[in-house]
Amino acid sequence: MGTALVIAIFVVGYIAIAFEHPLRINKAAPALVMAVLCWVAYFLQAHSHTEATEELLHHLAEISSILFFLLGAMTIVELIDLHGGFSIITEKITTNNKSRLLLIVSVLTFFLSALLDNLTTAIVMVSLSSRLLHEREDKLFFTGMIVIAANSGGAWSPIGDITTTMLWIGNQITALNIIKTTLLPSIMVCVIPMFILMRRFRGKTLPKIVNEKNSNIVEGNIVLISGITLLISVPVFKTITHMPPFMGMILSLGIMWIIISIIHFKKKVENKRKFTVGFALQKIDTQGILFFLGILLAVAALQSFGILKTLAAFFANTLHNEFLIGTTLGLFSAVVDNVPLVAATQGMYDLSIYPTDHYFWEFLALTTGTGGSAIIIGSAAGVAVMGIQNIDFMWYLKKISLLALWGFIAGIVFYIAQYYIMR
């Protein structure tokens, strides 16, 4: 009874999010209501309220780490923007051809997401492209491509996507091998939709970009270089200390705060207020963060009910083929979070069945890392930029989802062909 109830709540909440604009209710509201009701259903069927509370707090700890990571990244990006840092970059991009600009943005996103992670990269690149584009429709198409490029770029790197990182930490894959075997398929996932979108923008040009004059180019350079360096240092900090990524992001935000304070130390309060961390925190999208909280809490309830693990086991027992299992899990990760799906799969298969660097783990990293692009709330990067650009769920479904699926299929076909050729 409890399982059927939580599924019904999740479906209704998902529909309310999808039809945000016709209902004229911000997507964060149904997401939060859905999350709480899912957990009410869990508490009602729990044998012990104490154990249910511990389960909730366990998931909340994991979700909070993502939210604090997101909060820190968005604040640093906003500080760079407030100091004219993105204007410094946009001045270097001289092309006014939209098709060529899409190529530049996509390539930068793909490789940057492997160095940072897909969530941070999506936030940075959406902020950057928004400075270059004027028409809202253009911004939305570029944002959709950024989501695809960020997820495909993160899939082949052990630090680029959380699911690949999980498999790396769990010893299912090794760093060098996952790069070697999934880099080219990940490129295919990105370039197919990119080329299709480039055709859409062929012959279209941008009006001349007029950047606001930066009152202090030195300050802008300092903040830009410091911000990008601190963001890049987050995965390095994680690798060295083995601490969760959000700790590195909090450290980076703290250091950035000190740098900002030093830069504006001698200025009057009224002159430096718009450059402070406090002002940046007022400008970031808190509604998007609350939406993220609701979605992740709801999915955590499904995980606690054992629905995701049952689903993964059902696929494994029904399909009896590693490539079909990986493809199905990848597609399903567009609907629910890929993290619990991969965690469930890791628990189902021992390394004695699929040893380290077995093609099943490589394929799983590829599909679950890139499948989430098919739906805007299917990945952390998608959820983050949905809030930043206020993208309508149905718009993304109509305009971007099919492009993402073409790339997803191309990546799968390329990986399977590569596997049989190399073998």
> Tens digits of per-residue pLDDT, 380-389?
788 888 877 8
Mean pLDDT of 309-318: 77
Check the CA dihedral 362-231-246-311 and report its sign. negative
> Does the pLDDT of residue 123 top 80, yes or no?
yes
Pick the residue with more confidence: 348 or 33? 33
Residue with tokens 């930029």: 385
Residues 364 and 347: beta-carbon distance below 8 Å: no
> Does the pLDDT of residue 80 top 90, yes or no?
no
Mean pLDDT of 341-355: 77
Nearby residues of 50 by Cβ (< 8 Å), 6 or more positions away: none
Task: Tell me what pLDDT residue 386 has.
Answer: 82
Residue 205, SS3?
Answer: strand
Over the range 231-259, which residues count as b (16 or more CB within 10 Å of their CB) and which as e?
A: bebbbebbeeeeebbbbbbbbbbeebbeb
Task: Tell me what pLDDT residue 417 has.
Answer: 95
Task: Tell me what pLDDT residue 354 has.
Answer: 87
> Tens digits of per-residue pLDDT, 6-64?
989 988 988 888 787 788 888 889 989 999 999 999 999 888 889 999 999 998 988 88
- The strand pairing partners of 128, in sequence order, are none
> Tens digits of per-residue pLDDT, 276-307?
888 888 888 788 788 878 888 888 888 888 88
How high does pLDDT run on average in the chain? 85
Mean pLDDT of 235-261: 88
What total number of domains does the chain contain?
A: 1
> Does the pLDDT of residue 214 top 60, yes or no?
no
Residues 312 and 331: beta-carbon distance below 8 Å: no
Task: Tell me what pLDDT residue 129 has.
Answer: 87
> Does the pLDDT of residue 337 top 70, yes or no?
no
- The strand pairing partners of 205, in sequence order, are 97
Task: Tell me what pLDDT residue 334 has.
Answer: 84
Least Cα distance to 155 among 185, 125, 124 occurs for 185
DSSP symbols for 357-411: T-HHHHHHHHHHHHGGGGSTTSSHHHHHHHHHHT--HHHHHHHTHHHHHHHHHHH
The CA distances from residue 311 to 132, 338, 378, 379, 417, in Å, are 43, 12, 17, 19, 28
- The strand pairing partners of 97, in sequence order, are 205
Task: Tell me what pLDDT residue 254 has.
Answer: 95
Pick the residue with more confidence: 324 or 351? 324
DSSP symbols for 149-204: HHHHHHHTSTTTSHHHHHHHHTTSS-HHHHHHHHHHHHHHHHHHHHHHHHHHTTT-
> Does the pLDDT of residue 330 top 80, yes or no?
yes
> Which residues span the domain enclosing 263?
2-422
Mean pLDDT of 356-360: 90
Task: Tell me what pLDDT residue 256 has.
Answer: 94
How large a percentage of the chain has pLDDT more than 90?
Answer: 31
Segment holding 112, helix H or strand E:
helix 98-115
